[in-house]
Structure 1
Amino acid sequence: MLCLGIESSCDETGLALVRDGKLLAEKLASQVDVHAVFGGVVPEIASREHLRVLPVLLTELLKEQQLTIQDVDVVSVARGPGLQGCLLMGLNFAKGLVLSTGARLIGVNHLWAHLTAAGLEQKLVFPSLGLLVSGGHTHIYLIESPLKFTLLGRTLDDAAGEAFDKTAKSLNLPYPGGKLVDDLGKLGTVDKKLFPVPYVNNDNLDFSFSGLKTAVATYVNSNPQLRMDIMGIPDPSVEGIELSSQRNDMLASFNYTVARKLQIKIERALERNHGIKSLIVAGGVAANSVVRRVMSRVAGRSSIPLVLPSLHLCTDNGAMIAYAGYLMAEAGCRHNLDLEAIPRGRVVPSDWICDN
């Protein structure tokens, strides 16, 4: 079974081919440079970029693999959550391919695809506890199979990735700021008391990062010298070692606070859900070195394996959509051409049709 995956939920255009659960090839067009000047993603521009590059990427992908679109058995596409216009670009492109070839159409939950992406590299065992940490979502799931996810906790306001980007922006670091916050934080010393660990003195599994964003903004406002006059990457030889060290210490403390919050909630979830066989951590923030290290310790204390996708599978990509589509197709699932895009803020329905 050859499955084509299409990802266009935000500002990454990804296409990939998966044959019988194995990744053949993938293409990714990033829009980081396009949106960097605005300090964030502009939905209209993102949609137009998807429309422009999707046909080009597909042609290149098939040509390099010496395949034609007629060889594709399944077209899987991210149908949400995401930016409505961006999702529609990918969804309409997928429907056009299905109409012209007769391939099976499958709409993929973008969030679930992040959590099953590691299956391209290692065997997934269930039931698992899944932690999705990205720019738009911070969710905890009980995963009983690739098609059965139960949401245990979610972000009530801002997601972890949003907190990373806003922290970088407050210091005038370039967009996207998550990786730079991680890299600079590695050079600093953690002050565990610098920022409060937000929304943990409760009895639930939900998240809130708005308080941490406020704490960071307050700290930067009290220390305006930390904010660079011109957006860019700090140079200690220009601004001085002491200033760079103070900023790095702040970012090290921020990384610690985010990871500590995730740790508390995941340990709480593990205590409440018995028989968990693995911990899956996915999404863009799963590439953060501190988060990966802390989650490794959490899994180790529970004597379960930690399942982490490779760094290139943490961010949005076509491979995860192709693999999720393959898993659904293998289970006999499909969608009709009335498949709808589901924007962020709405629950993606499990409305597939099963032939088995």
Structure 2
Amino acid sequence: MLILAIESSCDEFSVAIMKDKKIVANIISSQIKDHVIYGGVVPELASRLHVENFSSVIINALSDSNVKINEIQYIAYTDKPGLIGSLIIGRLVAKTLGLYLNIPTMALNHMEGHIYSANIENKFEYPVLSLVVSGGHTQIQYLEKPLSFEVIGTTVDDAIGECFDKVARQLGLSYPGGPEIDKLSIDGDENAYKFPEINLVDKYNYSFSGLKTASLNIISKSKKDNSFNLKNFCASFQKAAINYLVKNFEKAIIEYKPRSISLAGGVSANKVLRNRIFSIGNKYNIFKILVPDLKYCTDNAAMIAELCNEYINYNN
């Protein structure tokens, strides 16, 4: 089976080729340099750049995989959630190719794709509990069996990545803020600044607005008395945010008793969070602990190809 997958939910346009269940190409056209001057993604600009870039991304993916376009047997694309304009471009490209080649197309969910990014190089043992963390989403999802997605926890306001970006903006750091905070945290004292303990919302839901407000108050106060230290603050903020993430996830592990746990989404590239997931998995003797390779953490089409392959196999 040869699958061509398209991911265009935000500011990356990505095309992947999967051949016989293996990713043989995963090309990503990133627009970060075009949006950084605005401090975040500008939806209309993202859509226009997708139109400019999609043809070269497809050509490069076919070249890298040594596959001809008429050999493709299936096309998958991200249908939701995401920026409407960006999603429409990906859908139009996928549908046009599908009609031209007279092959089926499959509309897939972006969040489900992120979850299966951890399944590309290592396979799930079910049931699976997945912590999905990105700029737009923070979720805990439970999969009792393949493709049985159940959201048991989500954010009621800001996502974890959005919180990182907003705090980074107040610190004068460039967009995206998460990697910048992670980098500065390495040489910082994570106990230098005290954050109020964040209360859990409902059962497994999150709220990051309190952490964001506390961060802004600490920055303002410590700058006024000239006691502010950027690296120490980043380390302390990151510790508070990740402790909160893990606290809920650990509660879910105790209740659901999964055989596998996984991490997914752009924030899954955070070094401290990746280490904490392995620590918590070992603490509860989890059968498998899966985190995606760094190249599959941010938005990419390989995860859509993997998800497509899973649906094809499961339905057959």
| TM-score, normalised with respect to structure 1 | 0.85
Q: Secondary structure at the match of 2:86?
A: helix
Deviation for aligned residue 1:195 = 1.2
Spell out, residue by residue over 1:227-274, the C-alpha distance to the aligned partner (whole angstroms, 9 max, x if none): 9xxxxxxxxxxxxxx86xx11111101111111001110111112213
Q: 1 CA distance for matches of 2:225 and 2:253? A: 39
Percent identity (aligned): 37
1:346 equivalent in structure 2: none
2:21 equivalent in structure 1: 21
Question: Greater shift after overlay, 185-194 or 118-127?
Answer: 185-194
**Equivalent position to 1:252, from 220, 235, 248:** 235
**Equivalent position to 1:285, from 262, 267, 281:** 267
Q: 2 CA distance for matches of 1:64 and 1:164? A: 35
2:69 equivalent in structure 1: 69
Q: Secondary structure at the match of 2:10?
A: coil
Q: 2 CA distance for matches of 1:326 and 1:293? A: 29
8 Å CA contact 1:197, 1:258 repeated in 2: no
1:313 aligns with 2:296: yes
Q: 1 CA distance for matches of 2:230 and 2:193? A: 16
**Equivalent position to 1:272, from 255, 258, 261:** 255
AA at the equivalent of 1:298: I
2:203 equivalent in structure 1: 204
Q: Secondary structure at the match of 2:140?
A: strand
8 Å CA contact 1:15, 1:57 repeated in 2: yes
What does 1:98-247 correspond to in 2, within 5 Å?
A: 98-191=98-191, 194-200=194-200, 204-224=203-223, 246-247=229-230
Q: 1 CA distance for matches of 2:301 and 2:130? A: 20
Q: 2 CA distance for matches of 1:91 and 1:189? A: 46
Q: Secondary structure at the match of 1:120?
A: coil
Deviation for aligned residue 1:331 = 2.5
Q: 1 CA distance for matches of 2:176 and 2:240? A: 20
The number of residue pairs the alignment matches comes to 315
Q: 2 CA distance for matches of 1:266 and 1:74? A: 36
AA at the equivalent of 1:206: N
**Do the aligned partners of residues 64 and 301 (structure 1) sit closer, same or farther apart at CA in structure 2, a change above 3 Å counting?**
closer
8 Å CA contact 2:192, 2:233 repeated in 1: no
1:12 equivalent in structure 2: 12
**Do the aligned partners of residues 89 and 79 (structure 1) sit closer, same or farther apart at CA in structure 2, a change above 3 Å counting?**
same
Deviation for aligned residue 1:76 = 0.5
**Equivalent position to 1:298, from 280, 302, 305:** 280
8 Å CA contact 1:220, 1:226 repeated in 2: no
Q: 2 CA distance for matches of 1:146 and 1:73? A: 23
8 Å CA contact 1:167, 1:217 repeated in 2: yes
**Do the aligned partners of residues 79 and 226 (structure 1) sit closer, same or farther apart at CA in structure 2, a change above 3 Å counting?**
farther
AA at the equivalent of 2:268: A
Deviation for aligned residue 1:50 = 0.8
* Root mean square deviation of aligned Cα: 1.7
8 Å CA contact 1:192, 1:257 repeated in 2: no
1:2 aligns with 2:10: no
Mind listing any 5+ residue stretches in structure 1 that lack a counterpart? 228-241, 333-355
Deviation for aligned residue 1:330 = 2.1
Mind listing any 5+ residue stretches in structure 2 that lack a counterpart? none
What does 1:44-83 correspond to in 2, within 5 Å?
A: 44-83=44-83
**Do the aligned partners of residues 273 and 66 (structure 1) sit closer, same or farther apart at CA in structure 2, a change above 3 Å counting?**
closer
AA at the equivalent of 2:95: K
Q: 2 CA distance for matches of 1:226 and 1:256? A: 23
**Do the aligned partners of residues 80 and 226 (structure 1) sit closer, same or farther apart at CA in structure 2, a change above 3 Å counting?**
farther
1:263 equivalent in structure 2: 246
Deviation for aligned residue 1:63 = 2.9
8 Å CA contact 2:24, 2:64 repeated in 1: no
